[in-house]
Amino acid sequence: MTDLKQGAARLLTSMALAGSSLLLGTGAIASELTPEKKLQAASLAATCANCHGTNGQGVEGSAVTGLANLSVEYIKTNMIWFKTGQRPATVMHQLAKGYTDEQIDIIANYLGKKD
Amino acid sequence: MQRRQFLQTSALATALLGGMPLSATAKSAKGKVVVIGGGYGGATAAKYLRMLSGNQLDVTLVEPNSTFVSCPMSNLVVGGIRKINEISTPYTGLTRNHGVKMVKDYVTAIDVEKRTVKLKNGKTLPYDKLVLSPGIDLQLDKIEGLAAANASGQILQAWKAGPETVGLRKQLEAMPDGGTYILNVPLAPYRCPPGPYERASMVANYFKQYKPKSKVLLLDANADVTSKGKLFKGVWESEYKGILEYRPNMKVTGVDGATKTVRFEFEEPIKGDVLNILPDQRAGKLAVDSGIANLNNRWAEVNYMTFESTVAPNVHVIGDSVQGAPLMPKSGHMANSQAKVVAAAIVAQMSGWEPNATPLTNNTCYSYVTTSNVIHVASVHVYNAEKKTFLTVEGSGGVSAAPNELEGTYAWNWAQNIWADTLV
């Protein structure tokens, strides 16, 4: 990748992250959601569970990352990096592109550690 | 297996104590849900109906087998890399961890008006909502002589993982070196698009190491490889040249189990030593018999937002029986993903809420091409209200750049996690 392309990718990522942070600022964590919104968040997060385990709890010793041990911010940042190509992957760069930044925010808040 | 379950149970206990968002939500959901079929679709639906309703919904899973045997990874058993017990999981976790009521039986009839299902043992079960996940029906009668050859054990399909998977492996082990294994691919759509190509690769991998004079003949009714085509063909060229031969546009019309002969629509008959003949497929028998497989008497048409049947109110159909949305494969991963959409929709409806208007599903399908190398295809699908179907998200999805060992590790770990997500 050329320096110019890398720079552009970084700029895009930081812009995307800034957007996500704004979303987080106005969003609500899982425990504050209405039951109806919480159900939708749970079902959206469940689309990760096929590979990453129910509620982000993978089987012990799994090579696939268990998401429940990661922070909200880490999940969001890395999903954006998968989308932009900043973080290379075998499959996550293809799957991450199927989720909007808002959906990523909901999933990260539902599965990730809050502190 | 026991160790894995113990670890799962401990993880669950830890999660409960730690206050993780295990049982999400809708304490207001009330009612009885019956789930028919304990495959990837039905078992996942039963578990998530309990979890997403905060264990409020009364959920009964009707399944005749006491152990789940996975179709994904079953080609590794055929190829001799794994044993059947390594791809099997008991249903006990659904009851122990989630309070799903298990009924070990078949459903023989659905009464949509009275909202009851009839069991083979004569009893009836009432429901408010029914989830129908009956898998596929192998249409043996579409190929002349196949039903008799299957009944005698001469020609197996092994397209529903279980005793036939082990049976096919035994036939391959018993085959003398220098023999020919013939596998066909039916016209799409059929269960697991890359499955036949993975199986041919796994058998070629076995022959290459243990029976190098033997041949794999892969006969495809389709015009070309239907999934991961470039990747499979690349491996056949680099790894299995002279062992695996692929011929497109060959439709099997008949077989003779005694002489191990395959007949075709146009070409001359071919003799082999182990025949693995796959007929056309349609929705599970119950879906066909009940009229719920309403499209050409073959697949079930659904309203994709909730997967509710277009002909049977309160019956939600998932998995391989469903007429697929564009580019939505008939896979175990997709059945698991659809099951969660349905579970959330039913919990919402039974809480008096509108179901999610933009449900999302995804698919990741790994295929082994050698003992350690794997390729994948992945996709993300979102419901489109205007078109009333699931569409793949533009720019998402794709396949592996090349076969690789890292995905070999991920594939086996994917299996462990999806089995736990479906059953534990």
A110: nearest CA partner in chain B = B21
Q: Which CATH superfamily is domain B139-281 in?
A: FAD/NAD(P)-binding domain (3.50.50.60)
Has residue B405 got a pLDDT over 80?
yes
Interface with A, mutate which of B22, B47, B360 (most A CBs under 10 A): B360
**How much is the average pLDDT of B17-23?**
40
**How much is the average pLDDT of B95-100?**
98
**How much is the average pLDDT of B246-259?**
98
**How much is the average pLDDT of B46-67?**
97
pLDDT digits (tens, 9 = 90+) for B261-295: 999 999 999 999 999 999 999 999 999 999 999 99
DSSP B260: T
**Residues B356, A98: C-beta atoms closer than 8 Å:** no
Q: Given pLDDT bands bounded at 50, 70 and 90, which one contains residue B23?
A: very low
A42: left (phi over 0), alpha (psi -120 to 50) or beta: alpha
Q: Given pLDDT bands bounded at 50, 70 and 90, which one contains residue B51?
A: very high
Nearest-10 Cα torsion for B354, B355, B359, B363 = 180
Q: CA–CA separation, B319 vs B140, rounded Å?
A: 21
**Contacting residues of A for B6, CB less than 8 Å apart:** none
pLDDT at A30: 56
**Contacting residues of B for A102, CB less than 8 Å apart:** none
CB B417, CB A56: distance < 8 Å:
no
CB B377, CB B407: distance < 8 Å:
no
A68: nearest CA partner in chain B = B20
**Contacting residues of A for B344, CB less than 8 Å apart:** 39-40, 42-43, 46
User: Closest partner residue to A53 among B344, B392, B417, by Cβ?
Assistant: B417
Q: Given pLDDT bands bounded at 50, 70 and 90, which one contains residue B123?
A: very high
What is the token pair recorded at B76?
Answer: 């590794």
Interface with A, mutate which of B334, B417, B422 (most A CBs under 10 A): B417
Of the two residues B53 and A5, the one the predictor is more confident about is B53
**How much is the average pLDDT of B62-87?**
98
pLDDT at B218: 98
Has residue B200 got a pLDDT over 70?
yes
% pLDDT > 90, chain B = 93
**Residues A35, B362: C-beta atoms closer than 8 Å:** no
pLDDT at A35: 93
Has residue B66 got a pLDDT over 50?
yes
**How much is the average pLDDT of A99-114?**
96
**How much is the average pLDDT of A84-109?**
97
User: Which residues of chain A approach chain B closer than 8 Å at the C-beta?
Assistant: 30, 35-36, 38-44, 46-47, 49-55, 57-60, 62-64, 68, 90-91, 94-99, 103, 110
Has residue A12 got a pLDDT over 90?
no
Q: Given pLDDT bands bounded at 50, 70 and 90, which one contains residue A114?
A: confident
**Residues B348, A39: C-beta atoms closer than 8 Å:** yes
Q: Given pLDDT bands bounded at 50, 70 and 90, which one contains residue A1?
A: very low
Q: CA–CA separation, B398 vs B400, rounded Å?
A: 7
Residue B392 CB partners (closer than 8 Å, separation 6+)? A98, B326, B327, B379, B380, B381
**What is the residue whose two structure tokens read 């190098």?**
B212
Chain A, chain B: beta-carbon pairs less than 8 Å apart: 146
Q: Given pLDDT bands bounded at 50, 70 and 90, which one contains residue B25?
A: low
Of the two residues B67 and B12, the one the predictor is more confident about is B67
Q: Which residues of A99-111 are buried (b: 16+ CB within 10 A; e: fewer)?
A: bebebbbbbbbbb
Has residue B309 got a pLDDT over 50?
yes
DSSP A46: G
**How much is the average pLDDT of B332-343?**
98
pLDDT at A27: 45
CB B312, CB B292: distance < 8 Å:
yes
Q: CA–CA separation, A84 vs A28, rounded Å?
A: 25
pLDDT digits (tens, 9 = 90+) for B211-251: 999 999 999 999 999 999 999 999 999 999 999 999 999 99
pLDDT at B193: 96
Q: Given pLDDT bands bounded at 50, 70 and 90, which one contains residue A13?
A: very low
pTM: 0.90
**Contacting residues of B for A68, CB less than 8 Å apart:** 15, 20
Has residue B11 got a pLDDT over 70?
no
Domains of chain A: 3-111 (1.10.760.10)
Q: How far is B269 from chain A (nearest CA, A)?
A: 42
Q: Given pLDDT bands bounded at 50, 70 and 90, which one contains residue B16?
A: very low
Query: Where are the domains positioned within chain B?
Result: 139-281
Q: How far is B61 from chain A (nearest CA, A)?
A: 19
pLDDT digits (tens, 9 = 90+) for A38-67: 999 999 999 999 999 999 999 988 889 899
